[in-house]
Amino acid sequence: MNLKRVVLFLLLLYFGLVYKGVACDIDENGTPVLVFPPKFDSKTPENDYVFQLIQLILKKSEDRFGPCQAKLLEYKLSVKRMEYYLEKQKDIHVIALTVNTQRDKRFLPVPIPIKKD
């Protein structure tokens, strides 16, 4: 994978677009959460750079948009399965993918370069 082409795609689900721009779901405790799938080969996904970046974005935007916790999906998915789940609005709200013309057409990309030097 060419890391120079890695872009964070913040892909909002249907609920985020329809219900007043809210991108977070509410968990069983009443806490707003944004679910992110861990990298398939990650041993400590809570320490992965992209997940920590999402946590920071949510923390920095809390004053403007309200609280929302980043939460890792409890199981790992292949890239194709992540795309399928996102498209079907199942279990995940955001994924990090490489740039791809077809993905740009299928999803709502918010390209933010995330390569760490």
**What does the block give as tokens for 12?**
């909002």
CB 51 within 8 A of CB 92: no
* Residues listed for the chain: 117
**What does the block give as tokens for 8?**
């964070």
Cα-based distances in Å from 107 to 1, 76, 80, 95? 20, 21, 13, 11
- The Cα–Cα gap between 33 and 43 comes to 22
Higher pLDDT, 81 or 7: 81
> 89: which DSSP letter?
T
- For tokens 């299928």, name the residue: 106
Confidence of residue 116 (pLDDT cuts 50, 70, 90): low
What are 70-96's pLDDT values in tens digits?
999 999 999 999 999 988 888 998 888
